[in-house]
Amino acid sequence: MRIARYTQPPGTCLQLQGAGLLTGYGKSNYRWAPAFFGPSVVVRGRGTFSWPGGREEVQIGSLFSLLPDMPVEYWEDPQDPWQYQWLGIHGSGVVDFAAGCGFTPEEPVWHAQDHRPVQEAMRDLWDCLDAGQPAHPYDVQMKLYSFARQSAKASGSVQRRHHEETLVERAKAVIESQLHTAINVTETAAILHVSRTTLFSAFRQELQQSPVQYLRGRRISRAQELLAAHGPIRLADVAHICGFNDPKYFLRTFKEITGQTPREWLAGSREPWSP
């Protein structure tokens, strides 16, 4: 086992606090409700993992996870003692990070067709904590997200999520996260790895409007939220926060969509625009 000896770097919300390789000898049994995210991958033997929502047998290639405040119990098969690699990850965003890795309170156990990339990503993090030559804190963060990518891929969570969500839903999520920037439809399509034509067709079919119209509408909705919350505020600041590089274009778009200038809207009914 190795314990982290570095300070969480600025601009991050996660910290790797430990990593290890646990070898059982037929008697290991653990019961607790941890305060951290603890993913593990079984590399030898068999065991059982129990949580409030169920119980599942684990074996080589199985991944199970401790989640904050979730009581669990797990033990090895005395006839086939296990060995598993584990990580201890703390931080304010650790629950969402765990979900991104494929682990949720409803599904804290799954079985990978190929667990080796996840095992290697864990090993890289183990090496980061080498007491003789510790890695730079930002290198640790990079490897944490590399682990998340490999884990999500192995669990199938990325494929499941993309199957469950429509292209329009994913596009709306991208737009929402980048609304403060000057992101355009071409850049949105590139992020989603589709063509502009495909994105336009999806929006026309599902929302009966173009992605350009939707993006402009969301920018104006955000502007109304800011105006309603802060009252008198420099319109140039509102424009910038909502992704408009040109305040004049912002004013023109606001009136085109709402039928009023921002000041008229503030003085009037303040009916929100819904794209």
Q: Which residue has the tokens 């990978």?
A: 112
Tell me the C-alpha distance between 144 and 149, whole Å: 9
Please report, for residues 105, 156, 268, the alpha-carbon distance to residue 110 in angstroms, rounded to integers and kept in the order given: 12, 10, 55
Which of the four pLDDT bands, split at 50, 70 and 90, describes residue 177? Answer: confident
- DSSP line for 56-72: EEE-TTEEEEE-TT--E
- 110 — pLDDT class (breaks 50, 70, 90): very high
Average pLDDT over residues 171-184: 86
Asked if pLDDT for residue 8 goes beyond 90, the answer is: no
Q: At what angle do helices 167-177 and 185-192 cross, to 10 degrees?
A: 120
Distance CA 243, CA 184 (A): 10
Over 50: is that where the pLDDT of 16 sits? yes
Give 86's strand partners.
20, 40
- Find out whether 112 and 60 touch, Cβ atoms under 8 Å: no
Residue 183, classified by CB atoms within 10 Å of its CB into exposed (0-12), middle (13-18) or buried (19+), is middle
User: Between 221 and 162, whose confidence is greater?
Assistant: 221
The fraction of the chain above a pLDDT of 90, given in percent, is 50
Domains in the chain, start-ordered, CATH in brackets? 2-161 (2.60.120.280), 165-275 (1.10.10.60)
- Give tens-digit pLDDT for 151-170: 988 887 544 444 446 889 88
Split at pLDDT 50, 70, 90, the class of 92 is confident
- Residue 208 makes CB contacts below 8 A (sequence gap 6+) with none
Quick: pLDDT tens for 37-83: 999 999 999 999 999 989 999 999 999 999 999 999 999 999 999 99
Mean pLDDT of 121-150: 87
pLDDT of residue 270: 56
Q: What is the mean pLDDT of residues 138-145?
A: 90
The residue that leads in pLDDT, 120 or 190, is: 120
**pLDDT reading at 231 higher than 70:** no
Residues of the chain above pLDDT 70, percent: 92
Q: What is the mean pLDDT of residues 205-214?
A: 93
